[in-house]
Amino acid sequence: MTSHSPEPGTQDRPWLALLALLLGVSLIVLEGSIVNVLIPTIVQDLGIDRTSVLWVTSIYSLVFAALLITCGVLADRIGRKRMFMLGTIVFVAFSLLAGAAQNGDMLILARAGEAVGGAMMLPTSMAIINVNFRGHMRAAAFGLWGGVFGGMAAFGPLLGGWLADIGSWRWAFYINVPLGILSLVMVWFLVTESKGTDHRRLDIGGVLMSSIGLGLLVFGLIEGQALGWWTLITPWDLGPISLQPGDLSPVPVALAVGTLLLVAFVLSQSWRAKRDKSVLMDLSLFRIRRYGYGNVVVTLVSLGEFGVLFALPLWLQAVQGFSPLQTGALVAVLGVGALLAGGAARHVAALMGATRLVRLGMVLEILGIAGVIATISVDRSAWWMAIPLFVYGIGVGFDSAQLTNVVLEDVPPQRSGGASSVTSTLRQVGSTMGSALLGTILFVSLGLALTNDLTVNQPQLSEQQVTQIVDEVVDSSGEAIIPLEQQPGMSAVADEAKQSYTRAVQIMAAFAGGAMVIGLIASFGLPADRRREEDETSRETVDA
């Protein structure tokens, strides 16, 4: 696939064009994290259960991941600027719907619509940067892109908490409207069009296999605890299908079919490429060592990177009694570290190399997670976690700022659209799987720990009472703990729930850290950074 050179406008005003893109990207990333701190408030307002909570937080990443490859290919065909602008319009429209949601189903639908718009925007922004920037300007542009990606993910909870405190959780969605319109106008005037010349028929079969396969896989991970991993534990209806407890759960079926579809998708892409047909995923790119290993690292890092951001807001409000604004302020410490590190990443990478900087970032993230595990406590002030969260944020800033640059460094510009969409997809696949897996680990651990603690330490409770308390705490994502504490004679039971919740968060964080460790090990498959002399030569060529 070849690509037309962009019109001169973007090259004449590259940093203003970058600012326009980053504004849109910041909205996409904020929307992925802003809901975490609002979940307790949304649970109270809309009365949604644990499964709906997981869907509200996971559907965005699921739809995002399912459509990124398709949107990347379409952007190359219809124009990257045009795709970005269309995506912004879709994103703004569904943000309005999310703000007006009256129940969990409506909110989930709106979040899915936002993800469609985001999927049209994110890989397009990466492709535009990859086409328009070279040499040291390219490293700086991707550094800023990564800094925004990491920093906004952490600032989302602060913004959400502030909006919930001064008004309503609905403003977390309404605020996207004016900012989205501003991004749309800026992109219209500042970003020039670029697109490819491949007009072969779109691989519809690949679109269906990848999208449905990912959807079924994440459905199984999210619904496993609620429906049963093998045998159905609650009635389940879908259209004409009606299943009762004791029947085979749809979860293993979804996991198996989803896996088979994704395997079939990869095989079909190989078959089509050999026959010179259009593909959604260019598998030949993975022969580029830096791109192949880099995407493995991207997936693993994304799986574990923001696990803390999923559990911590829930724990802070359920156990420590934090307000949404207090919760957002503490989590925002991570964002401060990410933005500071993202801004300095280019200069540090010039000294030690981008690949080494990515590894350093992962090490700092692992240390930060370990610090959270060590400092989180029912009896100790939660503000002590600001220290490990800041360290964690520096790690996010370093590896997010340079990882995309490292992955795409050896990819030819004319193949940047497909390459960046695959990288974005794997990033979101990792994030989606991480949310589903870590969320399941959190709630399963909470249920097991609380059942054991109440049985051993509160012998006056009957088995039925223990089951009822555990179900209430788990189904409310911990929100039932504070009301439970206020009931006469139940303070000891509430204390057990707080201790159990704390251990569950520690267990979940340990799994997140484990994913980061595996990602760090995988990073040693990346080739060494080019010599600085080569970089200087490239810089001089671009400047000339």
d(CA 479, CA 483): 8
DSSP-assigned beta bridge partners for residue 196 = 3
| pLDDT at 5 (0 to 100) | 41
Q: Which amino acid is at 487?
A: Q
- Predicted confidence at residue 352, as pLDDT, reads 85
- Determine the pLDDT at residue 507: 93
CA distance 465 to 478: 17
Share of the chain above pLDDT 90, in %: 22
Number of H helices, E strands in the chain: 20, 2
Q: What is the DSSP string of 178-189?
A: HHHHHHHHHHHH
Q: Give the per-residue pLDDT at 535.
A: 44
| 375-to-310, 371, 503 alpha-carbon distances in Å | 17, 6, 12
Mean pLDDT of 57-70: 77
Q: What pLDDT band is residue 502 in, cutting at 50, 70 and 90?
A: very high
pLDDT at 398: 85
Over residues 77-92, the pLDDT tens digits come to: 888 889 999 999 999 9
Q: What is the pLDDT of residue 541?
A: 38
- As a whole number, the mean pLDDT across the chain is 82
For the segment 401-428, the average pLDDT, to the nearest whole number, is 75
The predicted pLDDT at position 11 comes to: 52
pLDDT at 8: 38
Query: Where in the chain is CATH 1.20.1250.20?
Result: 14-192+278-449+503-543
CB 128 within 8 A of CB 80: yes
Residue 541: CA count within 13 A, CB half-sphere: 9
Pick from 193, 265, 271, 277: which is nearest to 425 by CA? 265
pLDDT at 331 over 70: yes
Beta bridge partners of 248: 231
pLDDT (average), residues 425-441: 77
Give the model's pLDDT for residue 139. Answer: 67
- Comparing 9-13, 279-283, 535-539, which segment has the lowest mean pLDDT? 535-539
**Quick one: CA torsion of 62, 64, 68, 74, rounded to 10 degrees?**
120
Between 259 and 197, the higher pLDDT residue? 259
Asked if 332 and 155 count as a contact pair (C-beta separation under 8 A), the reply is: yes
Q: What is the mean pLDDT of residues 509-520?
A: 91
Q: Which amino acid is it at 333?
A: V
Nearest 5°: the CA angle 319, 324, 325 is 125
In angstroms, the Cα distances linking 77 to 10, 65, 84, 135, 204 are 19, 20, 13, 26, 15
Q: For residue 540, is pLDDT > 60?
A: no
- pLDDT at residue 2 is higher than 50: no
The pLDDT confidence band at residue 536, using thresholds 50, 70 and 90, is very low
Nearest Cα neighbor of 399 from 337, 355, 336 is: 355
CATH 3.40.50.720 fits 14-192+278-449+503-543, yes or no: no
Complete DSSP assignment for 130-180: HHH--HHHHHHHHHHHHHHHHHHHHHHHHHHHHHHHHS-TTHHHHTHHHHH
How far out from the chain centre does Cα 385 lie? 22
Rounded Cα gap, residues 272 and 270, in angstroms:
6
Query: What is the number of alpha carbons within 13 Å of residue 308 lying toward its C-beta?
Result: 35
For residue 230, the 8-state DSSP code is S
pLDDT band per the 50, 70, 90 thresholds, residue 154: low
Q: State residue 334's pLDDT score.
A: 84
Q: What tens digit of pLDDT does each residue of 5-34 get?
A: 444 344 557 788 888 898 998 888 888 777
- As a whole-number percent, the residues of the chain with pLDDT over 70 amount to 89
pLDDT category of residue 148 using cuts at 50, 70 and 90: confident
CA pair distance 220, 448, nearest whole angstrom:
21
In this predicted model, what pLDDT tens digit does every residue of 225-256 receive, in sequence order?
A: 678 888 998 888 777 888 888 889 999 999 99
377: three-class secondary structure by DSSP: coil
Q: Which of 86-90, 139-143, 255-259, 465-469 has the lowest mean pLDDT?
A: 139-143
pLDDT band at 537 (very low <50, low <70, confident <90, very high): very low
The pTM is what? Answer: 0.77
pLDDT digits (tens, 9 = 90+) for 335-361: 788 878 877 877 787 788 888 888 999
Report CA 149 to chain centroid distance, whole Å. Answer: 10
- 228 φψ region: left (φ > 0), alpha (ψ -120 to 50), beta (else): left
Evaluate if residue 484 carries a pLDDT over 60. Answer: yes
First to last CA, the chain: 28
Q: What share of the chain is helix, strand, coil (3-state, %, to 5)?
A: 80, 0, 20
Listed range (23-37, 89-103, 221-235, 425-439) with the worst mean pLDDT: 425-439
pLDDT over 80 at 261, yes or no? yes
- Beta-sheet strands, E only, within 13-159: none
Is 276 a residue whose pLDDT tops 70? yes
